[in-house]
Structure 1
Amino acid sequence: MTVRRGVPDGAEERVAELYWEAFGRKLGAALNPPATGRHFIATHLHRDRAVVALAGDQVVGVAGFQLDGHGLTGGGVTDVFNTYGLFRGIPRLAVLALLERTPAPGQLVMDGIAVDADFRGNGIGSLLLRETFRVAVDHLCDEVRLDVIDVNPRARALYERHGFTAVRTEQTPYLRRLMGFGAVTTMHRSIAPPVGEVAPPAGERP
């Protein structure tokens, strides 16, 4: 298992597949049907806004992040209209706007972690998080931020094990039927290591 920065050439469809498996219920409200949504994600990826885990040459895990106004998943207004048309595109843009998160100065915002179902339980999420922390260090960020939904307690437990703390929870009952969750918790993690943890040198692989 190796970890690297950036989506490898030719792996865009694979990364889109993993993202859809992990976040399809949330993204589907804007990008359904699934085949179209996966293609939209793959076509508009910002390949340098990800850390990936590889088993051989196969991408088995991905962590997306936002820096300098760009996240892993891209695509603007024109791209949505070109894919879905004007009248179908307008409501989809409204849904996508609900998912927007803007980093504060000094923050790296994570878009999410997706791991192949056959490789879960092998510590891949932890490997991706550690490399993402190194990305934050290299870009002079002093904090990593993410949002976790109420129906994903395993993800929240992973983040807490790696030093994230909850700073606020927003109740979103209006999104339960649309996207499948009713609350979102924002979590922060200083890139300075918690007490008792030694940060590995930037660029070193676990």
Structure 2
Amino acid sequence: MDTAESGSITVRRGVPAGAERRVAELYWEAFGRKLGAALNPPETGRRFIATHLRRDRAVVALARNRVVGVAGFKLDGRGLTGGGATDVLKTYGAVRGLPRLALLALLERDPAAGQLVMDGIAVDADHRGRGIGGVLLAEIVRVAAENRCGQVRLDVIDVNPRARALYERHGFTAVRTEQTPFLRRLMGFGAVTTMHRDVGTARNQAR
């Protein structure tokens, strides 16, 4: 798989074999409040994410061969976090599983034609402030360009201004905001802003 060096951090495409649990832990740390309503208890949720992870739908940052950052993406109908209705019902049972499916459907974001959707970015707490988020974003843009996608899309919630500031610094602009007050108590946020960044060719991204 493709790799790149950035200081002491190695960026590679794809989740390394055996690192599924680690990626699930990072995702839960970053998005546990949002995902918890559908996948709690935490241990079950992390196990569900790890079990159904699509390893080829991520860019990861490694420090001493340990995953310290991950950015998932959705392309050609496949995203990093998998698991269909049957998997949810098998894990949680029919009674508890059906309402969880409805909540997961609210979080689903499908790309438009020629678009790559970035499906979350998470960086280990001990490695924040070192530019890892920006390096992961740059690699996501390269993935989009190489797959002939003209645009990267992501969604950021209103209670995460730090993430939005990161995206804006890396060329993303807000295109619309959807008010979701009914999700504030349940998932901890009351609005979702969709952001886009246009991308050029893979050659341009490499410059």
Counterpart AA for 1:18: L
TM-score of the pair, normalised by structure 2: 0.94
| Structure 2 match to 1:199 | 205
Q: 2:139 aligns with which of 131, 135, 142?
A: 131
- C-alpha RMSD of matched pairs (Å): 1.0
SS for the counterpart of 2:33 is: helix
Q: 2:161 aligns with which of 123, 132, 153?
A: 153
Q: 1:68 aligns with which of 76, 79, 94?
A: 76
Structure 1 residue 162 corresponds to structure 2 residue 170:
yes
Q: 2:64 aligns with which of 53, 56, 66?
A: 56
Which deviations, in whole Å up to 9, do the C-alpha atoms of 1:110-166 show, x marking residues without a partner? 111000000000000001001101100111100000000000000000000011000
| Structure 2 match to 1:17 | 25
State whether residues 141 and 205 of structure 2, in contact with CA within 8 Å, keep that contact through their aligned partners in structure 1: no
Counterpart AA for 1:170: E
Percent identity at matched positions?
79
SS for the counterpart of 1:177 is: helix
Distance in 1 (CA, whole Å) between partners of 2:205 and 2:45 is 38
| Structure 2 match to 1:187 | 195
Distance in 1 (CA, whole Å) between partners of 2:94 and 2:133 is 38
| Structure 2 match to 1:28 | 36
Distance in 1 (CA, whole Å) between partners of 2:75 and 2:97 is 26
Distance in 2 (CA, whole Å) between partners of 1:109 and 1:199 is 17
User: Which stretches in structure 1 are left out of the alignment for 5+ residues?
Assistant: 202-206
Counterpart AA for 1:186: T
SS for the counterpart of 1:105 is: coil
TM-score of the pair, normalised by structure 1: 0.94
User: Which stretches in structure 2 are left out of the alignment for 5+ residues?
Assistant: 1-8
Aligned residues: 197
Distance in 2 (CA, whole Å) between partners of 1:158 and 1:191 is 17
